[in-house]
Amino acid sequence: MKLTGVELRRVSMPLVSPFRTSFGTQTARELMLLRVVTDEGEGWGECVAMADPLYSSEYNDAAADVLQRFLVPALAASGPLEAHRVATVLAPFKGHRMAKAALEMGVLDAELRAQGRSFGSALGAVHERVPCGVSVGIMDSVPALVDAVGGYLDEGYVRIKLKIEPGWDVEPVRAVREQYGDDVLLQVDANTAYTLADARHLAKLDPFDLLLIEQPLDEEDVLGHADLAKQIRTPVCLDESIVSAQSAAAAIRLGAAAIVNIKPGRVGGYLEARRIHDVCVANGVPVWCGGMLETGLGRAANVALAALPGFTLPGDTSGSGRYYHRDLTAPFVLDDGHLGVPTGPGLGVTPLEDALAEVTTATEWLTV
């Protein structure tokens, strides 16, 4: 294939309800889509960076800038367009994994559509559908949280993840556990809100038999996570700290990660995500697929990734209705707590033109 151009499209998608984490509250998802056009067709990529650098150092304006000035020109000048070469071509440019992941995703989608192959088959999926969990944000009151969790359980979600922060941790977990019992798969996510000095407090979560505590400490404090793991019984899962297969291997070796959350955008793309999966499988470490409030495009790719054999825990691959009244693609709807893995060429889904036009705030065409 030969790259002929890339369209950057900004969209703003209102959320069905505010989503609050330890680093802020979102009422709309501001994100960037890439339409990668080649001489054989086109593919879609989704950049999971946020509007502000709160979850990570990346943000939408910076992603657009690095794509326009560096990444797309380098890829266009590199010769034949092949998805497995994208990471190597872009490697000289440090960081910017979310921007790189979006570009690689678009190239991979275009390549697979041209070949008539699905994302799932290309990545090595072994399941036709995947179990789905849901992420529940910090709320104004514990009763409101308990009611929200009940609604998600009624919808069929097979695992509940509670966002936590100092002052909103033990009591919300206790209330959910007491209300819905020990059979509910329950885990918590701190998004780096604690320090190792909080170890004794975090140990108070141990009696609730949680699947895991996700990223309690700063993303650079891998040794701190290893120390914390020795002081609490709840398994420690890393998210923000895992940015590559190399970092995953190091964290596992240090004893910092009993479980790994794989987010393709955070690690530079779906091909690197598969490498992390392979490293974890080789070390007997379970993995699950995280979410970044993706549209149906990113959700399709995530579901395909979550169908690999090492993804043994339910991921944040929620149905479209969890975040959006109307998705950009045909909606993903839970069936007995599961989502089906798309089988069509590439992502297996395409944006609905009217839905896309409704939420588009800006477009820019990058000629190569």
Residue positions annotated with a catalytic role: 163, 263
Neighbour-count burial of 341, counting CB atoms closer than 10 A to its CB (0-12 exposed, 13-18 middle, 19+ buried): buried
Strands (E), 246-337: 259-262, 287-289
d(CA 308, CA 329): 23
The DSSP output letter for 335 is: B
Task: Return left, alpha or beta for 69; rule: phi > 0 is left, psi -120 to 50 is alpha, else beta.
Answer: alpha
Query: Measuring CA to CA, how many Å separate 110 from each of 10, 38, 45, 272, 350?
Result: 20, 7, 10, 18, 12
SS3 161: strand
Asked if 189 and 239 touch (Cβ cutoff 8 Å), the reply is yes
Q: What is the pairing mode between strands 287-289 and 259-262? A: parallel
d(CA 102, CA 106): 6
Asked if 260 and 276 touch (Cβ cutoff 8 Å), the reply is yes
d(CA 306, CA 321): 19
Cα–Cα nearest to 283, from 309, 317, 253: 253
Q: Which amino acid is at 12?
A: S
Which run of H or E residues covers position 74? helix 72-76
Contact partners, residue 175, CB within 8 Å, separation at least 6 = 142, 145, 146
The torsion angles phi and psi of 262, rounded to 5 degrees, stand at: -100, 120
Asked if 243 and 266 touch (Cβ cutoff 8 Å), the reply is yes
The token duo for 62 is 């910076």
